Structure 1
Amino acid sequence: MPATAAPALAMTDAIIRSRSNPLVKRLRSLKERGATDLALLEGMTLVEEALAAGIALVEAAASPRADKTPRGRALVARLATAGIPVRRVDDAVLASLSEAETSQGLLALARRPSFDEGAIYAGTPLVVVAAGLQNPGNVGALLRTAEAAGATGAYLAAGTADPLSWKALRGAMGSAFRLPHVHGMPVEQALARLQKRKVLTLATVAEGGQSYDMVDLRQPVAFVLGNEGSGLPPEVLARIDARVTIPMAGATESLNVGVAAGVLLFEAARQRRARQ
């Protein structure tokens, strides 16, 4: 006898069609303001990454669009099986909360992860320090690049955009759930902790530093990156062990912070592989 098919959407309550519904208002508030104990996840990939990383999901909202693909149906069923309330929301209402060109029909609220700071120093530390990065997309890209290059963690110092904000999460694509990081600590305190653990701190500057590929990056290292426009302030530069520069051809003055971080981190990864 064939098995009885499960309902297409394992959801609770009647479908929500009003943009003034309390759940919709709460989701919109998180999207616009963030900085609570919850993070807003949009789309199947982020929800899957959060589940895989063991992030606690509090609630989800799914529209009929999520039922149109096997992946969507399976993910909604997985959420329901895990005991996570899944609320039904009209396609147009859920799409109004999305910044994607086409909403995948799924949002979720997640508890913000808390990392053990000691994990940043695992093995031979390779750390990034963001001092005043204000663009959430840059912060997300930085975490994604750092994880891809094998960094052990990050300090996202005070004045740096929230790594679990809507736009940062889209840039990080799950790395914010996995890469150990501390957010909001004064940069001076982060530098002191790194130096106490004998991690060489390297300021990234547009000119005047040692060429990045001439520095021994096989030792414990932390790259310190400043604000997108103004860079690192003099009082922070004064606390850092050394300065590195990425030589550039032509009239280009600087690189996007995410691109610069990628160049530096993958050079460190290359040197460390060569040592093995």
Structure 2
Amino acid sequence: MITSTANPRIKRLAGLQKKRRMREEEQVFLTEGLRMFREAPPEMLRELYVSESFAKKEKELICRKEQEARIQAEILADHVFSHVSDTKTPQGVLCVMARRKEPSAEEMFDLQTGGKPPLLMVLDNLQDPGNLGTILRTGEGAGVTGVVMSSDCVDLYNPKTVRSTMGSVYRVPCRREDDMERFLHKMKEAGIRIYAAHLKGTADYDEEDYTGGSAFLIGNEGNGLKEETARMADTYIRIPMEGEVESLNAAIAATILMFEAGRQRRRK
């Protein structure tokens, strides 16, 4: 059992929590909590750390996951676990996970769910970890086949982003794209129609047909889509609203669009 916060392994874990560069160098990310632990794919699980109190309560669960992943859990004194945790009330279990291999652009265009054509979310300079995580989670529920992020988006593996995905980070194919304009050109060539959620939209979102290959562009929380990204859209769509509300939170707007697409595909 590790009982000191000065232990080199503890210092490394604290660094992985705080530093994106360290996570990228090791190609890992951290997850915390019982749900994320239960859903962790064994083939992605690299290291497992549990608090002393958690180890006493969940012996059977820990043993099962150790056998599945073929690793040995490391027990930390409760105060040491609190030191490396990113949450105010730690549940006592932390996993170091290997990242999934990013799909190529062409693989993103070919992704299908249940035989249905691709349904992609393209995120342009999204900055809020909670918004990104929520889009992954609701996207999985709506049948989205993949998420593409511009290079200036918030880190997918930020602990707050990972936590807000509630496990979807393990399953939803994601790709970070350095040249978004080139990527969108390829998307059009692949026959995927691009829709931009935009204040200049003239078509109501529920009047369009998303049963074919479709992609939604979602912009920055404060400034919306960059002009060079927005102009790549085939159609500008809008979510009609009452009162004096001009726009919605990025994750909420994305959720409305994704579930409308999902509804149309179920009916077809």
Q: TM-score, normalised by structure 2?
A: 0.90
Residue 178 (1) aligns with residue 164 (2): no
**In percent, how many aligned pairs have the same letter?**
35
1:251-266 to 2 correspondence within 5 Å?
A: 251-266=244-259
Which ranges of structure 1 fall in alignment gaps of 5 or more residues?
1-14
Kindly indicate whether the alpha-carbon contact (under 8 Å) linking 2:109 and 2:190 is maintained by their aligned counterparts in 1. no
* Distance verdict in 2 for CA 1:59–1:254, change over 3 Å: same
CA distance in 1, matches of 2:99, 2:146: 17
**Counterparts of 1:119-198 in structure 2 under 5 Å?**
121=110, 122=112, 123-198=116-191
2:29 corresponds to 1:39 = yes
Alignment of 1:49-128 (within 5 A): 49-51=39-41, 54-69=42-57, 72-81=58-67, 82-117=69-104, 118=107, 121=110, 122=112, 123-128=116-121
Q: In the alignment, which residue of structure 1 is the partner of 2:9?
A: 23
Which secondary structure state, in structure 2, belongs to the residue aligned with residue 94 of structure 1? helix
Query: CA–CA distance in 2 between the matches of 1:104 and 1:115?
Result: 30
State the distance in 2 between where 1:173 and 1:189 align: 32
Alpha-carbon distance in structure 2 between the residues aligned to 1:221 and 1:157: 18
Gaps of 5+ in 2: none
Q: Which has the larger radius of gyration?
A: 1
Question: What is the Cα deviation at residue 76 of structure 1?
Answer: 1.6
**How many pairs align?**
257
Q: Alpha-carbon deviation of 1:32?
A: 0.7
Describe the superposition over 1:218-250 as per-residue Cα deviations: whole angstroms up to 9, x where unpaired.
121100101111111111112221111111111
Q: Deviations over 1:24-50 (max 9, x none)?
A: 111111111134211011112112222
AA aligned to 2:15 is S
The Cα offsets for residues 157-192 of structure 1, whole Å up to 9 and x where unpaired, read as: 211112222111111111111111112432213212
2:226 maps to what in 1? 233
Moved more, 119-128 or 56-65: 119-128
TM-score, scaled to structure 1: 0.87
